[in-house]
Structure 1
Amino acid sequence: MNPKNRNIIVALAVIIVVALVAFFSLNHQASKKSTAQKTVKVGIMSGDKQDQEVWKSVAKTAKEKYDLKLKFVYFSDYNQPNEALLSGDIDVNAFQSYNYVKTWNKAHKSDIVAVGNTYITPMHIYSKEVSKLSDLKEGSTVAIPNDASNESRALFVLQSAGLIKLTTSDSSKLVGLPDITENPHQLKFKEVDASQTPRALDSVALSVVNYNYATAASLPNSESVYMEPLNKTSAQYINFIAATSKEKNNKVYKEVAKAYASKATEKAIKEQYPDGGELPAWNLKL
């Protein structure tokens, strides 16, 4: 072969090899980038094992229907998930209700919004002293959560049970102990962290307990002496998947919400909460 032609062939071969290497390298990087863009960090609470099982079902649906990978980041108290969301450590979180985020946004001057509803859990009143509220003794002590939104909700539950009267019947308003106008049983109130309301039962007559903490403490609905009624004002207690306002229309985050609002998730909720303590809320009619 002519040396000149051979050199041309070698040069062309080198060019082709370099081009192929560059092509596959770019495709690999694009693939990695695409995978990274399809991974969503979801902040949830570490103490609720049943909720985690529900989210495993959501993750399966997200993968199969939307090619999304959900990576879970676990938190131990209610302050952490929103802080992580605002700092960008997670993409979305799912632990809070509308009334909770309203209070949070006001206190922290933040802009956290909902991208899709998840569930609602009625509060319950528990007791180790009485089997019905009519047996409650004068001057009994009642444990209630000490954070603003849950305390307000607990007081409205006590009002609906006929134990106290407040300055308002509008549960969309935030109330506290100073808003009690009538206390016919001369009840005393013990404010504790929401997670400690089940444990407080050892030292109080009644305790108003969030459902997630009741299940964590193995307190079944059947042993409660009163359940919060669901009505139009209960919409504020619906939990949701949260993002920052600038991401409220993010297509991927909306797909996470769609993966949650599925028949598979509804089935998982019924399996994990057979007593009906947690109810699907994406199509809830109040």
Structure 2
Amino acid sequence: MKKGWKYLIGIVVVVVIVIAGYFSFGDKSQAKEKTITVGVVAPADKDTHVWDAVKKEAKDKYGLTVKLKEFSDWNQPNKAVANGELDVNSFQTKEFLDDWNKAHDNTLTSVGQTIIAPLRLYSKKVDSVADIKNGATITIANDAVNESRGLKLLQNAGLIKLKSDDSLATTKDIAENPKNLKIKEVDGSQTARALSSEDASVVNGGFAVSGNIPLKYTLYKEKLDKNSKPYINVLAVSKKKKDSQAFKNLVKAYQSKSVKKEIKKQYNSLIIPGWDLDLD
């Protein structure tokens, strides 16, 4: 009888340990799933306010904790996601992501759209495009995607003419340059600072915000139409994790009415919500 009781007690102890271990492991996995880290590039105070709205929406509606990891330039966040050091990043256009994947033989994937930041041509030295002098220097971003986008902006402003609009353009594709402009390529993060030394600069909306560039220095603004779709920013993740519920909830949180309202409040027209634009 005693042996039977000991045997039964032994079985109960084993079962309890197994169950406790299962739920302990499950709780940790669930906790990890409910906390994600988003990589962002050089966020300004306005960006932080928008992400605070995202965090609140994610936490209140989906029980998802969102943390931010800051990077200083565009070169690092994709590598961090690809290496598994980061869950998701939010800093780039779909076109930039596609170009990075091609250059690095990778498959990072967009799980949702965020904002669009129209390019603007700014100057502190002249008041209009027509006032730009012969031989003037204009800075543009030096990465392939934003260099092409900047050159197309200059073309639409009537300053240069490109050989073709069909592919990523470089300065070698300039067919006509009637004012003999000097196109200076710099890191995207330096385009706002270049306004202090150069005649004009093409600046992305994000860097215009972080650089506190007043709208009064705008000479020309990028038009939004069907050709602007590749310029909408995205949330990028590893392809193998794209179906994670945490990422789906992050997208829903970002694309909420409260976040849309905060974007409009913080950025005015420098940056606008990109997920529900009618660009057709």
Residue 226 of structure 1 aligns to a residue in which SS?
A: strand
- CA deviations 1:243-262 (Å, max 9, x no partner) are 12222222321221111110
Counterpart of 1:200?
194
**Matched residues in 2 for 1:29 and 1:242: separation?**
28
Measured after TM superposition, the shift of residue 270 of structure 1 is 1.5
Matched, 1:102 2:98: yes
Measured after TM superposition, the shift of residue 101 of structure 1 is 1.1
Counterpart of 1:118?
114
Could you tell me which of 70, 83, 86 is aligned with 1:87? 83
Matched, 1:244 2:249: no
Query: Does structure 2 retain, via aligned residues, the 8 Å contact 1:124–1:221?
Result: no
Aligned pairs for 1:225-236 within 5 A: 225-236=219-230
Residue 223 of structure 2 aligns to a residue in which SS?
A: coil
Could you tell me which of 177, 183, 195 is aligned with 1:189? 183
Residue 68 of structure 2 aligns to a residue in which SS?
A: strand
Counterpart of 1:209?
203
Aligned pairs for 1:10-49 within 5 A: 26-49=22-45
TM-score by length of 2: 0.91
Based on CA coordinates, which of the two structures has the bigger radius of gyration?
1
Query: Does structure 1 retain, via aligned residues, the 8 Å contact 2:124–2:217?
Result: no
- CA deviations 1:166-211 (Å, max 9, x no partner) are 01234xx200001000111111111111111122122221111111
Could you tell me which of 57, 69, 81 is aligned with 1:61? 57
Figure out how many residues of one structure are paired with residues of the other and give that number: 279
Aligned identity (percent) is 43
Measured after TM superposition, the shift of residue 18 of structure 1 is 8.3
Measured after TM superposition, the shift of residue 29 of structure 1 is 3.9
Query: Does structure 1 retain, via aligned residues, the 8 Å contact 2:55–2:66?
Result: yes
Could you say if the C-alpha distance between residues 10 and 110 of structure 1 is closer, same or farther in structure 2, counting changes exceeding 3 Å?
closer
Counterpart of 1:283?
276
Matched, 1:168 2:169: no
Structure 2: 5+ residue stretches without partners = none
Structure 2 counterpart of 1:232, which letter? K
**Matched residues in 2 for 1:22 and 1:180: separation?**
69
Residue 276 of structure 2 aligns to a residue in which SS?
A: coil
Could you tell me which of 236, 248, 258 is aligned with 1:254? 248
Structure 2 counterpart of 1:277, which letter? L
Moved more, 52-61 or 8-17: 8-17
Residue 36 of structure 2 aligns to a residue in which SS?
A: strand
Query: Does structure 1 retain, via aligned residues, the 8 Å contact 2:141–2:150?
Result: yes
**Matched residues in 2 for 1:236 and 1:77: separation?**
20
Query: Does structure 2 retain, via aligned residues, the 8 Å contact 1:44–1:74?
Result: yes
Measured after TM superposition, the shift of residue 11 of structure 1 is 10
Moved more, 246-255 or 184-193: 246-255
Measured after TM superposition, the shift of residue 216 of structure 1 is 1.3
Residue 118 of structure 1 aligns to a residue in which SS?
A: strand
**Matched residues in 1 for 2:71 and 2:45: separation?**
12
Query: Does structure 1 retain, via aligned residues, the 8 Å contact 2:142–2:187?
Result: yes
